[in-house]
């Protein structure tokens, strides 16, 4: 499932509900619209049997009242309820929060208020949220998504404030209502609140633009690029025959971008299996010199860290594992390398690569940072 962007509202009559959502499709969806529960002006957007559609780069962006797929409609409704009733950012200027799990989907939500002189408390509550199955990707795009959402909200709030001001000038509704002590509220649509008859068309275009934007779209060209076929069997024999510290030092050097200086091309070739691609060494890292004097000796100006990168530990474990046959080793290596190349590729797009929550969610620890620094540079 790709991400769904939705606008939700806490209706004074119907409670929390989804009023508009946009999804991306590869081809025209053939589902028919859902049976919708009752709605009033406040929770109305477009007709239940209506869809707003635009096309971009061979993809379709479809906006409907609720998702066409019944299971997603249910998940989105749950997310709307949580975003408007319990999961709220309480700081003054608001902000986005994350909630979710693997069953109900992962959500980034941003709730906000719009001025309305006829509403209870003179304001109405809305939220914009993104629902996705892929937690890592969602957390990855959080910074840019949050910026986009804030822009839309600011726009809506300014429009609503302008309309509210005009209304106040014409007739002080607030004073009138307070004088009458009327508890009755009048539901009004978002079009009325913002003075924009085509507001839902604007939101559809805006949601489509966000789903199409470079930072949000899940692109993984590197994932589909196969790894060069190189058997790690030689590496296994090195691992078993070399002194442990020497072997670990060379592995660490190669994985973190130190240049390997060795006369024997086959040795260099063997250690190359540790990297998913032919990457140039990092000039800032000291070289690692290998010399053969009865046994292989290693000269390197640095010390191994107390804790080796997770990938290196997993690789060594696999090489030493007698239950993992040579025939299965290459596939297992590819799996490990692809996994870490994927993490590095995802971190390329992140504006704050030191975000602890994000790194934790990807299983990245401090010991992985020297490796990732080199890998991220090569995944750009």
Residue nearest to Zn ion (CB): 11
- Going by C-alpha positions, the residue among 161, 181, 179, 180 that lies closest to residue 117 is 161
Question: Minimum CB separation from Zn ion for residue 351, in Å?
Answer: 38
Which is nearer to Zn ion, 19 or 290 (by Cβ)?
A: 19
Provide CB contacts within 8 A for 70, sequence distance 6+. Answer: 34
- Going by C-alpha positions, the residue among 352, 29, 24 that lies closest to residue 219 is 24
Question: Minimum CB separation from Zn ion for residue 44, in Å?
Answer: 7
Question: Minimum CB separation from Zn ion for residue 181, in Å?
Answer: 24
Which is nearer to Zn ion, 125 or 137 (by Cβ)?
A: 125
Question: Minimum CB separation from Zn ion for residue 30, in Å?
Answer: 29
Question: Minimum CB separation from Zn ion for residue 190, in Å?
Answer: 12
Which is nearer to Zn ion, 8 or 337 (by Cβ)?
A: 8
Provide CB contacts within 8 A for 311, sequence distance 6+. Answer: 255, 336, 337, 340, 368, 371
Tell me which residues in 1-30 interact with Zn ion (CB under 5 A): 11, 13-14
Binding mask 36-65 for Zn ion (x = CB under 5 A): ----x-xx----------------------
- Going by C-alpha positions, the residue among 119, 121, 126 that lies closest to residue 188 is 119
Tokens of 287: 């070289």
Question: Minimum CB separation from Zn ion for residue 14, in Å?
Answer: 4
Using CA atoms, how far apart are residues 111 and 37, in angstroms rounded to an integer? 22
Question: Do residues 315 and 274 lie in contact, with contact meaning Cβ atoms separated by under 8 Å?
Answer: yes
Verify binding: residue 119, Zn ion, rule CB under 5 A: no
Pairing of strands 15-25, 52-56: unpaired
Using CA atoms, how far apart are residues 100 and 82, in angstroms rounded to an integer? 10
Please give the C-alpha separations between residue 29 and each of 25, 61, 62, 73, in angstroms, as whole numbers.
7, 10, 9, 15
Question: Minimum CB separation from Zn ion for residue 13, in Å?
Answer: 5
Piece of 32-40, 117-125, 140-148, 200-208 that binds Zn ion (CB under 5 A): 32-40
Question: Minimum CB separation from Zn ion for residue 36, in Å?
Answer: 11
Which is nearer to Zn ion, 187 or 194 (by Cβ)?
A: 187
- Going by C-alpha positions, the residue among 105, 106, 111, 113 that lies closest to residue 89 is 111
Binding mask 209-228 for Zn ion (x = CB under 5 A): --------------------
Which is nearer to Zn ion, 186 or 217 (by Cβ)?
A: 186
Piece of 35-43, 106-114, 253-261, 295-303 that binds Zn ion (CB under 5 A): 35-43
Tokens of 35: 């049976």
* Total site size for Zn ion, rule CB under 5 A: 6
Q: Is the dihedral of CA 268, 271, 273, 274 positive or negative?
A: negative
Which is nearer to Zn ion, 40 or 260 (by Cβ)?
A: 40
Name the site residues for Zn ion (rule: CB under 5 A).
11, 13-14, 40, 42-43
């Amino acid at each position: 499932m790709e991400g769904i962007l939705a606008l939700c509202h806490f209706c004074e009559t119907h409670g929390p509900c989804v009023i508009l959502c946009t999804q991306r499709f590869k081809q025209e969806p053939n589902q028919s619209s859902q049976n919708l529960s009752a709605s009033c002006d406040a929770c109305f957007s477009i007709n239940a049997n209506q869809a707003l559609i635009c096309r971009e780069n061979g993809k379709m962006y479809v906006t409907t009242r609720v998702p066409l797929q019944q299971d997603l409609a249910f998940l989105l409704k749950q997310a709307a309820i949580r975003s408007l009733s319990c999961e709220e950012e309480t700081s003054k200027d608001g902000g986005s929060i994350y909630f979710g799990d693997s069953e109900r989907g992962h959500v980034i939500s941003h709730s906000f208020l719009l001025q309305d002189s006829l509403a209870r408390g003179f304001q109405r509550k809305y939220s914009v949220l993104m629902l996705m199955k892929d937690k890592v990707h969602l957390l990855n795009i959080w910074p840019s998504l949050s910026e986009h959402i804030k822009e839309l909200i600011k726009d809506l709030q300014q429009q609503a404030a302008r309309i509210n001001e005009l209304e106040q000038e014409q007739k002080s509704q607030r004073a009138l209502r307070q004088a009458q002590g009327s508890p009755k509220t009048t539901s009004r649509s978002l079009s009325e609140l913002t003075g924009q008859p085509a507001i839902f068309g604007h939101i559809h275009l805006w949601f489509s633009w966000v789903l199409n934007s470079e930072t949000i779209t899940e692109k993984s060209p590197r994932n589909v690029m196969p790894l060069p076929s190189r058997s790690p069997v030689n590496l296994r024999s090195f691992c078993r025959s070399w002194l442990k510290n020497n072997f670990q030092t060379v592995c660490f050097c190669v994985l973190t971008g130190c240049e390997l200086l060795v006369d024997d091309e086959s040795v260099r070739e063997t250690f190359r299996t540790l990297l998913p691609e032919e990457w140039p060494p990092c000039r800032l890292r000291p070289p690692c010199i290998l010399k053969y004097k009865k046994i292989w000796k290693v000269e390197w100006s640095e010390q191994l860290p107390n804790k080796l990168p997770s990938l290196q530990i997993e690789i060594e474990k696999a090489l030493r594992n007698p239950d993992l046959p040579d025939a299965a080793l290459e596939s297992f290596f590819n799996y490990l390398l692809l996994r870490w190349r994927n993490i590095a590729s995802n971190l390329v797009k992140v504006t704050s690569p030191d975000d602890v929550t994000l790194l934790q969610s990807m299983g990245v620890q401090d010991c992985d940072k020297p490796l990732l620094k080199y890998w991220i540079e090569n995944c750009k």
